[in-house]
Amino acid sequence: MKKNIVKYYPLIPVLAVYLIMFLIGFFMPGMWQMVALLAFYCALGQSWNIFMGMTGYVDFGYVTFIALGTYGMSLGITYFSQFEWLGMGIIVIGLILAMFLAALAALLEAAIALRLRGAYFAIACIGINEGLRYFIEGAKIWGGSEGLIFFGALTQSLGRETVNQLTTFWADFSVFVIAALAAFLNMHYMRSKIGYALTAVREDEDAAKVMGVNTTKYKTLAFLTSGLLGAAVGAMAWGLKLGHVYPGDVFVIHYTIECIVVVLLGGAGTLLGPVVGGLIYGLSKYWLAIIMPGFQLLIFAPIIIIIIVAFPEGVIGVLKQRVKRTALEKYIV
Amino acid sequence: MIFELLAGNLTHGLLLGGVYGVATMGLSLIFGVINVVNVGHGQFIMVGAFVTLILFTALGLSPVIAIPVALIIGMALGFLFFYTVMRKLIKAPELASLLATFAVGILLEELAKLIFGADFRGYYWDVGKIILPFTTIPMSKLYAFIGSIAIALFLYFWFSKTRSGTAVRSVIEDSEGARVCGVNVDWIYALSFAIGIGITVMSGVLLTMFIPVGINPYMGGAYTLKAFVIAVLGGLTSPYGAFFAGLIFGLVENGAYTLFALIPGVAPFSLTVSLAFWMLFFLLLVKPTGLLGKK
């Protein structure tokens, strides 16, 4: 039993950071928005890292899941808010729909695209993302390019006071919960048979297959987990919080890039990495938006390039080497 | 009526397809040689478009002169980008090279926005037009098509007849083997990267004939995605495959648009774009080596 708990020690620093962030946001006036933004990046980085960090596959179309999650929540609220008796149940329905859409997409994508490797996989994922976006716009399903606007419906069925609470606090709070859940699942996978199988896939997929590892099963599992968590973040932080969704706003590859930057800054394949990366990225983005609005990307692009070329292991990757054979080793993974 | 419309649109599609082909050859060449997917590909097309626009509006030079200028600028950018960034990433995992090329794309976009602003611009190169029974073709489009064939042929001869072209082919085939045979592989990497970017910037010049008011710092992304579809259609590592795939793509795109426009209650433009990606996905599934690629 003791051994079982020991293996979850690296979660301590991660959860501690989330707790501190939450407390800062909760008790210091005016900090909540910033903390929520940071939690958003941490959660997405952590979720994306579950699949990429362990398998080495680069899912460039990850934003598909976030977008489908947003759509799930939006559809749930749009179509079920007319039933008064459901009350808060519409949010549960929205979340279920989000999970359902994301699971469907993840399984389909896994069944087809995961057979491809390297660049082909990345291109296929981008293809699915763009294909979905333009299909929604072109076939005019779910409101087409006009999107779904459901803030009014939400207010009408739950009352202004509740909705205010939901959008300004509970939506962001749930992002914290998802981030913590993602960290836990990541740790759990790392320290179980799944993690070993996926590491084998990353190092040499063909060899792993020959040795009898069911690579497809484990890859699909990690892909699905990563996608569902992304969809949950989308449902809460975009769907519920904003009250509208447009295909041109959510199926945007730039958000995948943000996930990648977060993970790469912190260290790909590490547990603490996405948290550190999310903090660095979120804070610098927030700060740059204040001091030089409109120029964030111009400044970020060269920084990203320098980081990739100069220190590809990320902050935690470097730190991990430093703390080897010290007491801290157990906590930094 | 519908056949006339279709014939007209397919003609335009074929002309545009040639330009698409050239616009994708660079992507395929770079992927073939250094095994990196240039996710910032379309932004180099945007550079070419702006080069043409400036030469035309500020200096009054015809787009014909813009073609060699674009090649030189593109190759210079290619060498710069290769020696500062890509050289270190050839052996790195895909994550690094994908992100780095994307970041370069963003950098180009933002620089273009800083210099030219985010407005849509365009120019009109008036060189007459041909009137066919079913459609009217501006001569500028025809010249762009002829230019694309010339560039493709030029690349073909460079590839098959010159020493450096042969070296590039040998590196695509087997870089270690080529190294053993005395090919300066590192130089070939740099050269083919620069040529790949050069062709791409050049294709931006040709593309401007098709987008009268579509020159904008953010125009590149759409072309990156189209280039992916075309490159996969052509086998991803083969520049000639890419050229022919471009022709096919141009025809399919315009043909499908014409047909989708007949369906009531849909947005035909978006459906056409979406069709391209489903095509890509399906192709990757059944034949990842491309329609024209070898087994």
Domain with B94, as residue range(s), is 2-123+153-286
Give per-residue pLDDT as tens, A244-269: 889 888 898 888 888 888 888 888 88
Nearest to B225 among A52, A126, A309 (CB): A126
Q: Bin A224: left if φ > 0, else alpha if -120 < ψ < 50, else beta.
A: alpha
* CATH code at position A297: 1.10.3470
Amino acid at B139: M
**pLDDT surpassing 60 at residue A118:** yes
A112 touches chain B (CB under 8 A): yes
- Number of domains chain B is built from: 1
From the list B243, B251, B242, B252, the residue with the least C-alpha distance to B276 is B252
Q: Is residue B55 part of a domain?
A: yes
Cβ contacts of B236 on chain A, cutoff 8 Å: 119-120
In whole angstroms, give the CA distance from residue B100 to residue B98.
6
**pLDDT surpassing 50 at residue A294:** yes
Give per-residue pLDDT as tens, B150-202: 999 999 998 888 988 889 888 888 888 888 888 888 899 999 999 999 999 99
Q: Report in angstroms the alpha-carbon separations of B257 from A139, B233, B269.
A: 13, 19, 6
Q: Is residue B139 part of a domain?
A: no
Average pLDDT of the residues of chain B: 87
Cβ contacts of A298 on chain B, cutoff 8 Å: 107, 110-111, 114
Give per-residue pLDDT as tens, A213-222: 888 888 899 9
- Number of domains chain A is built from: 1
Nearest to A120 among B114, B260, B288 (CB): B288
Give per-residue pLDDT as tens, B227-253: 988 988 888 788 888 899 999 999 988
Q: Is residue B225 part of a domain?
A: yes
Q: Is residue B251 part of a domain?
A: yes
Q: How many CB pairs under 8 A join A and B?
A: 144
In whole angstroms, give the CA distance from residue B103 to residue B85.
11
A295 touches chain B (CB under 8 A): yes
Cβ contacts of B229 on chain A, cutoff 8 Å: 127
From the list A232, A227, A231, A72, the residue with the least C-alpha distance to A142 is A72
Cβ contacts of A135 on chain B, cutoff 8 Å: 270-271, 274, 278
Domain with A28, as residue range(s), is 2-330
* CATH code at position B202: 1.10.3470
Q: Is residue B134 part of a domain?
A: no
**pLDDT surpassing 70 at residue A3:** no
Distance of residue B60 Cα from the nearest chain A Cα, in angstroms: 31
Cβ contacts of A302 on chain B, cutoff 8 Å: 103, 107
Give per-residue pLDDT as tens, A137-151: 888 888 888 888 888
